């Protein structure tokens, strides 16, 4: 969207296990939205060496940036925002920081390195704007001591693409749909436990799991054999068009996460006309889901 009116350069720094030594590798490409500069560094070795390699990669990325920059947009606070502050000070220009990391919503959370958080707080204070994707995440950032000029800016959903499909399935039974990466915070064990309990009382209930989760992860959560386990179907990763059709083929979208910064898939489901049910996991509260409009 920004590229429709402005020149955009995207800088990406990432480890590459196949690289050796301390010299980073730079790859440039042209995309419809602008130039992409990818800098890869050796991802192996001791932690100190990895940190040094990452620092060298960022320095190389800075040198590859165009001379004329008016604004820097950091995709995350750690370490994108930290590096954005450094580059912005070098160029004498403002910077913005988008925030969508769940670490600020986790009660026990990941281990918090004091240096990372000290640098992040300084980056947050210096940003022209700190842009969390939900009010819940904004509160989590503030609890972590991140002071700044806050403005909630949700993730964008393409409402021209996510809309009710032309053909709805007439398959029998009541069909639940879940789409995620199956990571720890998606809480699949809770979802499947609840489904098996509900299906023992409603035998026509069906659950479809989709996404890039591992089949072995799903199988391990299901009891061996039995009619209840037979009601769960795993269909794997889906393309965008397949997601729209899958949303139209089901009766309810279910989200069982422990934390979500926004839960963008809920917005996609609602735009496709599918009611949703979700745990109280943070970000979805911004959607103002109520029983009165057929959602929870």
State pLDDT tens for residues 235-248. Answer: 999 998 999 999 99
Spell out, as residue ranges, where the chain has pLDDT lower than 50.
Answer: 109, 291-296
Query: Which regions of the chain does DSSP assign to beta strands (E)?
Result: 9-16, 25-31, 34-42, 72-74, 95-99, 129-132, 174-179, 205-210, 232-236, 252-255, 276-278
- What local confidence, expressed as pLDDT, does residue 226 receive? 60
Question: 229: part of which helix (H) or strand (E)?
Answer: helix 227-230
- What local confidence, expressed as pLDDT, does residue 295 receive? 42
- What local confidence, expressed as pLDDT, does residue 116 receive? 84
Report the alpha-carbon distance of residue 166 to residue 64 in Å, rounded: 47
- The closest of 151, 181, 169, 179 to 268, measured between CA atoms, is 179
- What local confidence, expressed as pLDDT, does residue 115 receive? 80
- What local confidence, expressed as pLDDT, does residue 109 receive? 47
Q: Which pTM value belongs to this model?
A: 0.82
- What local confidence, expressed as pLDDT, does residue 225 receive? 59
- The closest of 132, 112, 134 to 280, measured between CA atoms, is 134
- What local confidence, expressed as pLDDT, does residue 296 receive? 40
Six-digit token pair at 139?
């509160």
Report the alpha-carbon distance of residue 105 to residue 281 in Å, rounded: 9
């Amino acid at each position: 969207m920004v590229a429709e009116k402005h020149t955009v350069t995207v800088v990406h720094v990432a480890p590459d296990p196949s690289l050796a030594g301390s010299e980073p590798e730079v790859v440039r490409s042209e995309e419809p939205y602008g130039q992409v500069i990818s800098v890869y560094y050796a991802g192996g070795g001791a932690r100190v060496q990895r940190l040094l390699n990452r620092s060298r990669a960022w320095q190389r990325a800075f040198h590859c940036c165009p001379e004329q920059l008016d604004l820097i947009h950091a995709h995350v606070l750690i370490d994108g925002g930290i590096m954005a502050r450094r580059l912005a000070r070098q160029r004498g220009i403002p910077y913005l920081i988008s925030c969508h990391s769940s670490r600020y919503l986790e009660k026990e959370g990941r281990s918090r390195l004091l240096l990372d958080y000290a640098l992040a707080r300084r980056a947050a204070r210096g940003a022209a704007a700190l842009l969390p994707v939900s009010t819940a995440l904004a509160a989590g950032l503030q609890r972590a001591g991140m002071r700044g000029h806050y403005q909630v800016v949700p993730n964008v959903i393409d409402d021209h693409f996510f809309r009710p499909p032309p053909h709805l399935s007439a398959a029998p039974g009541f069909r639940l749909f879940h789409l995620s990466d199956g990571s720890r915070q998606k809480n699949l064990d809770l979802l499947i436990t609840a489904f098996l309990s509900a299906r023992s009382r409603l035998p026509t209930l069906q659950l479809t799991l989709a996404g890039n989760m591992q089949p072995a992860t799903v199988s391990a959560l299901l009891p061996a054999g039995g009619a209840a386990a037979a009601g769960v179907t795993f269909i794997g990763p889906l393309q965008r068009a397949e997601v729209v059709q899958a949303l139209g083929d089901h009766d309810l979208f279910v989200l069982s996460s422990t934390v979500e910064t926004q839960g963008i898939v809920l917005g996609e489901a609602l735009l496709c006309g599918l009611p949703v049910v979700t745990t109280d996991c943070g970000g979805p509260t911004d959607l103002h889901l109520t029983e009165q409009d057929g959602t929870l």
